[in-house]
Amino acid sequence: MKILIKTGYVIDPSQNIDGVKDVLINGKKIQGIFPKGKSPSADKTIDVAGCIVIPGLVDMHTHLREPGYEYKETIKTGTMAAVKGGFTTVCCMPNTDPINDTISVTEFILKKADEEGSCAVFPIAAITKGENGEAMTELEALIKAGSIAFSDDGKPVMNSLIMRRALEYSKIFGVPVISHCEDLKLSEGGVMNEGINSTLLGLKGIPKAAEEVMVARDISLSELTGGKLHIAHVSTEGSVRLIREAKTRGVNVTAETCPHYFSLTDDSLKGYDTNFKVNPPLRTDKDVSAIKQGIKDGTIDVIATDHAPHHYDDKNREFDTAAFGISGLETAFALGLKLVEDRVVDLNTLVAKMTFAPSKIMGISKGTLKKDADADIAIIDTKKRFTVDAGKFLSKGKNSAFNGWKLNGVVLKTIAMGKVYEWE
Amino acid sequence: MLESKDLLGIKELSADDIYHVLETSDGFMDVLRRDIKKVPPLRGKTVVSLFYEPSTRTRTSFTLAAKRLSADIVNFSLSSSSIVKGESIQDTALTIQALGADFVIIRHASSGVPHSLSRLLNISVINAGDGANEHPTQALLDLFTIRAHKKKIEGLNVAIIGDIAHSRVAKSNIYALTKLGANVKVICPPTLMPVEIGQLGVEVHHSIEDGIKKADVVMTLRLQLERQSKGFLPSLKEYFNLYGLTSERLKLAKKDAIVMHPGPMNRGVEIASDVADGPQSVILEQVTNGIAVRMAVLYLLSGVKE
């Protein structure tokens, strides 16, 4: 079936398209982008005047929780939340139970995604067996099975030698090694940013240095080995500075941040609300400014969600023992749009950082509206205002840090592999 | 009466609130001096203490305070309750409320637990110590003790020595003393100093000799012995050499300075025995005053009119 998406404002940074155009889909593929009114005929026409039409968003950092933590999220509910948020591709982190460190887990995820998923799912496999930081997983087998990158996310690879080996060995395949930068000794027992607010709340702090020493280490190791390093969830000013400096020297490093790191500070924790407990922790105004600057100047390549859904019971407990994480798929784009409203970046740059840039890093042919690409499209009314109601999330994780926020940017329709999902 | 139904911390109180508690405590001190130490204002009220950390003095002090106000008090303790069966703290608290309690006195190792219970429950929540956050009744009894000796708080030099980073007693005292206009000096090794503590309006010292000079009040804190094994200090001996309150060092303070300690003491670690037992020590008075202050807190939160 051919569907024509008519008179939307099309933005596709992968081919520098920016203007009112018509997009024609043929089955699961994009047939082409045409000047307004110049498209061949279609079986169905959707008029989206006043909306933006962009490649379906790509999240390179998602926790789908399945297998093992189906009470928090499943591949089914996580991908439903994804399409609701305008995402058509999610790359899921391996810290499930069992951990994605063997081909059977990769195969399971892909099979489940095929049967029950609403959008494309690309597994990220563990760097080390059991994410225990000691022995490398079988990269070749995992890639063959369908994993596309490697990370021990949730944990760092504390052993510098193992990290060196992973960055070296991964060069055979050209896949990224995604680093969760946290020195576990420096962060031990910490539950929030270390600073005046941790002093005021009497909570154990995680110093910025816990992140930065590992960013510095991994940059050195990438420089040593030439391995493809991607820094996950950048939260501090110092990390931005280190990455900027490394990029200037030509180190093979890319980086992502998440909406909460440019939208919130640790002031939010003052009522001990565990929905603001996340790792790395929310930092300070200075860090938020530096991260915005990093997004603006290109130091930070990607805006990812680090979607970390949790069950109510995991959050509704003592702050010290509550789970870390924010359910982020359904608010990410609207929070990104605030960067545009605040003139940090233009809309094209925002779209690039949520589509083309992550696809490029992950080596997948997503995040584009090029001819013959998968028909993955998000149609968003950027002027429409809504109030975040976490209770109505499609994700099982209602643990939003933005509940009650009024934001612009409603995803009206998401098309994933030609299948149309619509709301309202 | 206090504005809130709860006592969560000194942070949440105004200077007027603090004075109000102190003045009310005066009346209860008189009661405690009588032969029959019991008054009726909380007759028919039920107080439940819920302690997730071991405590002898605070719990006993609250128990006596409640009894002397004629309240019924029940102690939920770690070993005897469903806490060990894995019940969540929220469920335990709701159960206590359903049992008809009017007050719950909570101590917990995790900061912020009293605050979340305060939102959950309709009954009064009293913080008897949460993590490294606050221990408000300890600060109130410390202020009561200081005021008894110095007549006023404003303008006094108060030196607080010890493990400030892990001490809820220090935090509550810092909030209370600064709100009432005292000059607070915190003294400890940098490894035990809370980050950016200077923003709370205190002077930061790493030398006890500098910090203690001209002090009207010298407060030492208990050093948890595990701080050594966790690498905050090379040895307890070195801590005593650098920060132990000895009679030599006490001479640097004002002649009439009082010495305080929230207990329990580690003699020979943070305080020398001759100081702890010496003429300037008011450590046991603090304990006695604690009952009157806790009576005042219960009384004011109950909203009972005289």
Q: Does A201 sit within 8 Å of B112, measured CB to CB?
A: yes
Interface membership of A43 toward B (CB under 8 Å): no
**pLDDT value for A422:** 95
Domain-embedded: residue B9: no
Q: Do A199 and B115 touch (CB under 8 A)?
A: no
Find chain B residues with C-beta within 8 A of A319's C-beta.
110-113, 116
Per-residue pLDDT averaged across B247-261, rounded? 98
**Band of the pLDDT at B306, cuts 50, 70, 90?**
very low
pLDDT digits (tens, 9 = 90+) for B121-159: 999 999 999 999 999 999 999 999 999 999 999 999 999
- Tell me what pLDDT residue B229 has: 78
With respect to residue B56, please indicate whether it lies within any of the assigned structural domains. yes
Q: Can you give the CATH number for the domain in which B228 is found?
A: 3.40.50.1370
Neighboring chain B residues of A195 at a CB cutoff of 8 Å: 195-196
Give the pLDDT band of residue B79 (cuts 50, 70, 90): low
Identify the closest residue of chain A to B9 by CA–CA distance: A201
Tell me which chain A residues have a C-beta less than 8 angstroms from the C-beta of B115: 271-272
**Domains in chain A: ranges and CATH:** 2-52+374-422 (2.30.40.10), 56-362 (3.20.20.140)
- Tell whether B37 and B118 lie within a shared domain: yes
Residues B159 and B187 in one domain: yes
Q: B158 lies in a domain?
A: yes
Q: B73 and B150: one domain? A: no
Q: A280: cis peptide before it, omega within 30°?
A: yes
Q: Which residues of A touch B130 (CB under 8 A)?
A: 202
- Measure in Å the smallest separation between the Cα of A314 and chain B Cα atoms: 11
Does residue B194 sit in the same domain as residue B166?
yes
Active centre residues of A (catalytic): 306
Residue B257 lies in a domain: yes
What is the reported pLDDT for A257? 98
What distance in Å separates the CA atoms of residue A204 and residue B147, rounded to the nearest whole number? 33
Q: At how many degrees (to 10) do helices A160-169 and A208-225 cross? A: 40
Contacting residues for B260 by C-beta, under 8 A, at least 6 apart: B142, B145, B146, B217, B218, B219, B220, B281, B282, B283, B286
Number of domains in chain B: 2
Helix (H) or strand (E) holding B203: strand B203-205
- Min Cα distance B31 → chain A (Å) is 35
Model confidence pLDDT, tens digit, residues A127-140: 999 999 999 999 99
Residue B24 domain boundaries: 15-135+287-302
Give the lowest-confidence range in A410-414, B2-6, B23-27, B46-50: B2-6
Give per-residue pLDDT as tens, B87-124: 889 999 999 999 999 999 999 999 999 999 999 999 99
Q: How many CB pairs under 8 A join A and B?
A: 62
Tell whether A311 lies on the interface with B, counting CB pairs under 8 A: no
Residues of B with Cβ-Cβ distance to A205 under 8 angstroms = 195
- B2 — pLDDT class (breaks 50, 70, 90): confident
**Residue B163 sits in the same domain as residue B252:** yes
What is the spatial distance between Cα A126 and Cα A118, in angstroms, rounded to a whole number?
24
B108 and B163 part of one domain: no
- The answer as to whether B118 is a domain residue is yes
Whether residue B96 is found in the same domain as residue B233: no
pLDDT of residue A232: 98
User: Which parts of chain A have pLDDT scores under 50?
Assistant: none
Q: Do B132 and A204 touch (CB under 8 A)?
A: yes
Residue B235 lies in a domain: yes
Domain co-membership, B186 together with B276? yes
Instruction: Report whether pLDDT(B305) > 60.
Output: no
**Reported pTM:** 0.95
B245 and B293 fall within a common domain: no
Please indicate, yes or no, whether residues B256 and B292 belong to a single structural domain of this protein: no
Q: Is A196 on the interface with B (CB under 8 A)?
A: yes
- The reply to whether B19 and B100 lie within a common domain is yes
The pLDDT mean for chain B works out to: 94
Cβ-based contacts of A188 with chain B (< 8 Å): none
> How far is residue A34's CA from residue B181's CA, in Å, rounded to a whole number?
73
Residue B275 has pLDDT above 90, yes or no: yes
Q: Which residue of B has its CA nearest to A270?
A: B112
CB A320 to CB B131 under 8 A? yes
pLDDT grade, residue B226 (50/70/90)? confident
Q: Which of helix, strand or coil describes residue A87?
A: strand
Task: Find the closest chain A residue to B199 by CA distance.
Answer: A196
Question: Per residue in B180-215, is it b (16+ CB within 10 Å) or e — as a string?
Answer: bebbbbbbbbeebbbbebeebebebbeebeebbeeb
B162 and B273 inside one domain: yes
The whole-number pLDDT of residue B80 equals: 60
Q: Residue B294 contacts by C-beta under 8 Å, 6 or more apart in sequence?
A: B61, B62, B65, B137, B141
DSSP A358-373: HHHHHT-S-S---TTS
What ipTM did this prediction achieve? 0.93
Position B3 scores a pLDDT of 77
Write out the catalytic residue numbers of B. Answer: 57-58, 85, 107, 135
Q: Domain for residue B52, yes or no?
A: yes
A250 interfacial to chain B (CB closer than 8 Å): no
Question: Does B72 fall in a domain?
Answer: yes
Mean pLDDT score of chain A: 97
